[in-house]
């Protein structure tokens, strides 16, 4: 018997148990999104149209971007509690300085990304828990947002407004945007060679360190990326709402965490998925519309998000348990 046939013989039983479980887990976020869309289509077929989807998914874009930001942080086993107020801060900058004094505006936003990079360095070098540091940043960003824009107001730069209200042919803009975001981040984090190192540092930091990679650089990179996507999220949000408010992104912290988890991400171990995260964010956004169509009072909007999160986690727990038994 040749070694080839021996190895393929050994492969068969492995695949029989492993693939369905991995496949099921990977399919779960998409499945839940499909269910929500089907539900909406069932209740109101007209909603699943170009304009309907455009309307329903519009606000999903900033949520998806914030979720991606959170995902970078979660990939290296940290948590960013400040992303929501950071989005507010960016929104306030965008609706004021970015319009009136673009250079200053851009400089401030770049500074915000720099602060994120610095946070990554501090968290790594001082070995402090990210929840507490970002909790402090929660207050800092909110304070800055209020200082910049004490009262709701401001106006989005024209180009930003135009960009976010762009009409793509055939496929609604939010869907195109979501696809682009998911694929770009997927290529960077999941397919690039340095992306493997970044993810590996979430799975086994000391192994990455022992192989000679700088864990400091990795942490800084991931936090800076979170800053970049936080900025994009704030910009997208202001492009849609046209005016800002110092509390505009407050809910994004919890939404982004929920989105990452819904998308199949794990809290520790570097197991996250950009495509899943975007799908998770869209699912959470659409859940609200579904409830509207079901004539469930808007009171239960947040509750439904919680329920979806719990149902998905329960499904995952079941899959994991049966998978555990099989292998």
Footprint of another protein on residues 299-318 (CB under 8 A)? Answer: 299-307, 309-310, 313-314, 316-317
Among 55, 135, 215, 240, binds another protein (CB under 8 A): 135
- State the number of binding residues for another protein (CB under 8 A): 79
Footprint of another protein on residues 152-211 (CB under 8 A)? Answer: 191, 193-194, 196-197, 199-204, 206-211
Footprint of another protein on residues 3-32 (CB under 8 A)? Answer: 3, 6-11, 14, 18, 22
State which residue, 136 or 153, has the beta carbon closest to another protein.
136
In angstroms, give the least distance from the CB of 48 to another protein. 25
In angstroms, give the least distance from the CB of 49 to another protein. 29
Q: Are 277 and 71 in contact (CB under 8 A)?
A: yes
Among 46, 126, 167, 325, binds another protein (CB under 8 A): 126
State which residue, 21 or 161, has the beta carbon closest to another protein.
21
DSSP 134-183: HHHHHHHHHHHHHHH-SSSB----HHHHHHHT---SSS-HHHHHHHHHHH
Residue 190 has what DSSP assignment? I
What is the C-alpha to C-alpha distance for residues 236 and 59, in angstroms, rounded to an integer? 9
Footprint of another protein on residues 271-290 (CB under 8 A)? Answer: 271
Among 45, 102, 114, 136, binds another protein (CB under 8 A): 136
Burial of 71 (0-12, 13-18, 19+ CB in 10 A): buried
Among 24, 41, 213, 294, binds another protein (CB under 8 A): 213
In angstroms, give the least distance from the CB of 75 to another protein. 9
User: Rule CB under 8 A: is residue 112 a binding residue for another protein?
Assistant: no
Q: Are 226 and 83 in contact (CB under 8 A)?
A: yes
- What SS3 state is found at 3? helix
H-type alpha helices, the chain:
3-43, 50-57, 60-75, 83-95, 97-100, 102-125, 130-148, 158-164, 173-185, 193-203, 205-210, 215-241, 252-262, 274-293, 301-326
Token pair of 139 as six digits: 């207050």
The set of residues, in sequence order, having a beta carbon less than 8 Å from that of 272 and lying 6+ positions away, is 71, 74, 75, 199, 202, 260, 263, 264, 265, 266
In angstroms, give the least distance from the CB of 206 to another protein. 7
Span near another protein by CB under 8 A; candidates 33-41, 64-72, 142-150, 232-240: 142-150
In angstroms, give the least distance from the CB of 145 to another protein. 8
What is the C-alpha to C-alpha distance for residues 122 and 209, in angstroms, rounded to an integer? 18
Among 31, 146, 163, 240, binds another protein (CB under 8 A): 146
Binding to another protein by CB under 8 A, coded x per residue (else -) over 234-273, reads --------------------x--xx--x-----xxxxx--
Footprint of another protein on residues 26-65 (CB under 8 A)? Answer: none
Q: Are 146 and 246 in contact (CB under 8 A)?
A: yes
What is the C-alpha to C-alpha distance for residues 46 and 106, in angstroms, rounded to an integer? 41
Q: Are 84 and 250 in contact (CB under 8 A)?
A: yes
What is the C-alpha to C-alpha distance for residues 115 and 112, in angstroms, rounded to an integer? 5
State which residue, 111 or 143, has the beta carbon closest to another protein.
143
User: Rule CB under 8 A: is residue 73 a binding residue for another protein?
Assistant: no
Among 143, 162, 179, 326, binds another protein (CB under 8 A): 143
């Amino acid at each position: 018997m040749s070694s080839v046939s021996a190895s393929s013989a050994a492969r068969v039983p492995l695949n029989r148990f492993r693939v369905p479980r991995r496949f099921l887990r990977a399919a779960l976020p998409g499945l839940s999104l499909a269910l929500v869309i089907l539900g909406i289509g069932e209740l109101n077929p007209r909603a699943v149209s170009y304009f309907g989807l455009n309307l329903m998914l519009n606000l999903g874009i900033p949520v998806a971007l914030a979720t991606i930001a959170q995902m970078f942080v979660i990939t290296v086993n940290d948590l960013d509690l400040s992303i929501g107020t950071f989005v507010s801060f960016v929104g306030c900058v965008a609706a004021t300085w970015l319009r009136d004094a673009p250079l200053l505006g851009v400089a401030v936003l770049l500074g915000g990304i720099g602060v994120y990079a610095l946070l990554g360095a501090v968290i790594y070098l001082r070995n402090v828990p990210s929840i507490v540091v970002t909790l402090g940043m929660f207050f800092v960003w909110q304070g800055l947002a209020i200082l910049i824009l004490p009262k709701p107001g401001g106006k989005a730069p024209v180009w930003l407004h135009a960009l976010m209200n762009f009409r793509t042919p055939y496929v609604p803009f939010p869907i195109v945007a979501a696809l682009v975001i998911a694929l770009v981040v997927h290529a960077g984090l999941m397919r690039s060679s340095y992306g493997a190192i970044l993810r590996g540092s979430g799975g086994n930091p000391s192994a990455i360190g022992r192989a000679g990679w700088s864990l400091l650089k990795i942490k800084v990179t991931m936090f800076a990326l979170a800053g970049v996507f936080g900025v994009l999220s704030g910009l997208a949000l202001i492009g849609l709402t046209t005016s800002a408010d110092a509390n505009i992104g407050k809910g994004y912290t919890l939404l982004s965490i929920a989105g990452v988890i819904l998308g199949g991400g794990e809290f520790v171990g570097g197991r996250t998925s950009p495509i899943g995260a975007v799908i998770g964010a869209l699912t959470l956004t659409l859940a609200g519309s579904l409830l509207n169509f079901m004539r469930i009072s808007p009171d239960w909007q947040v509750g439904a998000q919680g329920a979806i999160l719990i149902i998905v986690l329960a499904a995952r727990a079941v899959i994991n348990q049966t998978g555990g038994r099989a292998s």
